[in-house]
C-alpha cells in the first residue's frame, strides 16, 4: 500500500488530498501546524506542530519519519 506525505493538510486542498488518498486505501501522513477536527476524524497519521519554515521543526519531522519509506510527497503548505 503506497504511503503519501501531505503538507498543509489541516484544511482546503491538503485536507481533500488526505481524504482522497485515504479513501482509496493509501497510507497518509498528514503534516500541519494545528490539525483540524476534520483531519483528526480521518484517522490518518498526524504529524502536527510542524512549521515548515522552521529548521528545528524540519529536523524534528525528519527524525519522526526516519526509516519511513514514502511513495509520494504533496507539498501543499503555503499555497494561496
Could you tell me the CA-to-CA distances from 28 to 19, 22, 48, 53, 54 in Å, in that order? 9, 6, 13, 22, 22
79 versus 33: the higher-pLDDT residue is: 33
At residue 79, the pLDDT reads 61
Could you tell me the CA-to-CA distances from 78 to 20, 24, 33, 53, 61 in Å, in that order? 20, 26, 12, 10, 17
DSSP single-letter state for residue 35:
-
Which of 2-11, 28-37, 43-52, 71-80 bottoms out in mean pLDDT, i.e. has the lowest? 71-80
Q: What confidence tens digit (pLDDT) does each residue in 15-49 have?
A: 999 999 999 999 999 999 999 999 999 999 999 99
Domain borders along the chain are: 3-52+66-74
At residue 58, the pLDDT reads 93
The x, y and z cell numbers of residue 67, run together, are 526509516
Give the mean model confidence (pLDDT) for residues 64-69: 96
Asked if residue 52 has pLDDT above 70, the reply is yes
At residue 9, the pLDDT reads 97
Sequence-separated (6 or more) residues with CB below 8 Å from residue 57: 49, 50, 51
Amino acid at each position: 500500500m503506497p504511503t503519501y506525505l501531505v503538507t498543509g493538510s489541516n484544511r482546503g486542498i491538503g485536507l481533500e488530498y488526505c481524504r482522497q488518498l485515504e479513501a482509496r486505501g493509501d497510507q497518509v501522513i498528514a503534516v500541519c501546524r494545528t490539525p483540524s477536527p476534520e483531519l483528526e476524524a480521518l484517522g490518518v497519521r498526524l504529524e502536527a506542530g510542524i512549521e515548515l519554515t522552521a529548521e528545528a521543526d524540519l529536523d524534528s519531522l525528519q527524525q519522526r519519519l526516519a526509516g519511513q519509506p514514502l511513495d509520494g510527497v504533496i507539498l501543499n503548505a503555503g499555497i494561496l
